Amino acid sequence: MNLELINRVRRQLVAQAGPGRSRGRRGPAAKADIVTALCAAGAAPPDQPGLLELSAALSDDLNGAGPLQPLLDDTTVTDVVVNGTDGVWVDRGEGLQAAAVGFGDAEAIRSLACRLAAAAGRRLDAGNPYADVRLPDGTRFHAILPPIAVGGPYLSFRTHRTKAFTLSQLVEADTLTADMAELLLRVVTARLPHVITGGTGTGKTTLLSSLLSTVPANERIVIVEDAAELAPHHPHLLTLEARPANIEGAGAVDLAALVRQALRMRPDRIVIGECRGAEVSELLAALNTGHDGGAGTLHCNAAADVPARLEALALPHGMPRAGLHAQLVAALRVIIHLRRCGGRRRVAEIALIDSGESGHSSGLGVATAWTRHGPGPAAGALERLLRERGA
């Protein structure tokens, strides 16, 4: 899209708003306003179909993600990344693939990134060359600018989908086996606290949304997230979202504070969208106060690494190692680990945490209960635990 044309239409939109409204205009420009501005700016094509096409493209440039907007609107797309002027890539569940979309130059990418960050109330410039924000439609947006980003700007979009897949649909997609789906349903029914682990883009949020959708309708779920992404189908669901500091560095509300607030909201289950810092100790404390069935996600290479990963998150915030281990054994039962296999997201392992020595550096045992190939060494222990809980 021609930058001069965009600026002409933008100036015309401000003029249309009037002197008393132009300063306070913060909402998106309506397509009808854009059509009027195009005509007033003398840039309207002679034919009506061309006018509508141009106004739609301008709407994406003024309000949305410019040439990337059609990709973000595609319901099969989970991620869109821009590698500077080297190209745009999309992930539709089978790994990143090149997209037939491009930008004219690095300045066009930078302009888009700065506009999206500013619309979310964040600063993105040479003094603050990176930003991590949530766009109005729920899309998670990250940008990093040169010179920090050599060859950049680099942009990353994680789309937000309001649809939660059923466990049956995940079985059909080969994300997990039918036996695994039945076992995980029993884990939820038995109110066993669980954490879903894996790398970036392995489907942790998707699986957690699916599991939360199976929670009985008379239970109250309170979700705490850094950026609202979980979207389970459940009639009694409340979501708390962290708030970053404003440009003046004030007003931040972190996950740890939100977990404490969640405890006062009469929750049946507390869910942490992603544990990444001090909120780990808050979550473990909450799960030890009678809130069975809590859950969360955690970036981790393998199920066996969960104790060490939680140590790395909790110890810098003053939680002693012995206290962490004691709370971990009492609060957390099941680990569900996902991996990417040939570009596809799959549940690789369901494991149990116990206090037995396993040779792991943390001193806590993590035993495999189930894999895609069938039961593991801890399958019997998990079965006994489920039967004790009536599942």
Give mean pLDDT in consecutive 10-residue pieces for the chain, a chain of 391 residues: 58 51 42 64 58 58 75 89 93 86 87 88 89 86 94 91 85 94 96 92 92 96 89 94 80 87 92 79 74 89 91 82 84 92 88 65 78 94 93 79
Residues of each domain in the chain carrying CATH 3.30.450.370: 66-160
Residue 362 token pair: 């943390």
Q: Phi-psi region for residue 236, left (φ > 0), alpha (ψ -120 to 50) or beta?
A: beta
Q: What local confidence, expressed as pLDDT, does residue 30 receive?
A: 58
66-160 has which fold? Beta-Lactamase (3.30.450)
Closest Cα partner for 358 from 313, 307, 298, 301?
A: 307
| Class of the CATH-defined domain 167-388 | alpha beta
d(CA 205, CA 223): 12
Q: Is the sign of the CA dihedral 272, 274, 278, 284 positive or negative?
A: positive
Backbone angles phi, psi at 375, to 5 degrees: -65, 150
Residues of each domain in the chain carrying CATH 3.40.50.300: 167-388
Closest Cα partner for 286 from 255, 315, 317, 312?
A: 255
Q: What local confidence, expressed as pLDDT, does residue 24 receive?
A: 34
Rg (CA), the chain: 24
CA distances from 41 to 4, 50, 388 (A): 11, 16, 73
pTM: 0.78
Closest Cα partner for 269 from 190, 364, 384?
A: 190
Q: What local confidence, expressed as pLDDT, does residue 100 receive?
A: 87
Q: What local confidence, expressed as pLDDT, does residue 283 receive?
A: 73
- At 237, the amino acid letter reads L
